[in-house]
Structure 1
């Protein structure tokens, strides 16, 4: 990329579902009315960064590398609706501790780097299924068990047909980052 210092990218960090989880989430979309989120865009946002200078990418990738939170299981057992934004979403009745730990760790790392992000609202982990949607019907479905272990730094680009996401960096929480891996780091 041939970028100047004034260029920006619209970025966010997200838990990135595996293919079986995405396929099951797509099945939940069938009875919904609205603009469906494409298969490849389904995710759980951890921190929305908005427009960030391209020059900040190395630091943002380093934050991703240094996350020490453990992976865990999310049980997606409800479909609900954000009335104000007309969004139908899937989520867990109870947020597992590993998601809250990951969110806190990421928030702290961003604040330490002086990176502004959308933290003014209470963190409500969810996966958007449809936008510009009407209230969903009551959906009875078997809970979706998602072993959430992949975290990604994602670029969002607005296009006439909807947002297009590009994963700029990702890592598995199964792979622990160790301080000794850094030059001058301890054991």
Structure 2
């Protein structure tokens, strides 16, 4: 190996749930989609459909979304974060969601709590970070399945379940 070759920094995968080190920086962000399970999507879709049917009889405007739209879950931002520990080793962690721009600066001493992801080929996921330089605890915020379904569809589903429950109770008397 001669001196003209570029030296590539070795990125490690950390297995401990707590990593303490210096914040190096963010890498290029991208989006990832969370799928909504078929049973949940179908049950919400059917219950909301019952409420939509009742609403159409009462001339109310329903919030319509297809089953395919419900199954395609929310997209969230994934940002690889790099840290360097006291031994000079570099670690890459995935941050799902966003933090305020002013939360972390290059060189800040941070302590992160991580969890392994379902896909073991991916780096660990950042759950919480404490900026030890400013003593500020930070938690990235990501959209959930419930926020993706939306309040209008969830309210329609709840109304549909109540109507179905009342009909079943009336028929069983």
The structure having more radius of gyration, on CA atoms, is 2
Higher strand share: 1
TM-score for the superposition, normalised by structure 2? 0.26
Higher helix share: 2
TM-score for the superposition, normalised by structure 1? 0.25
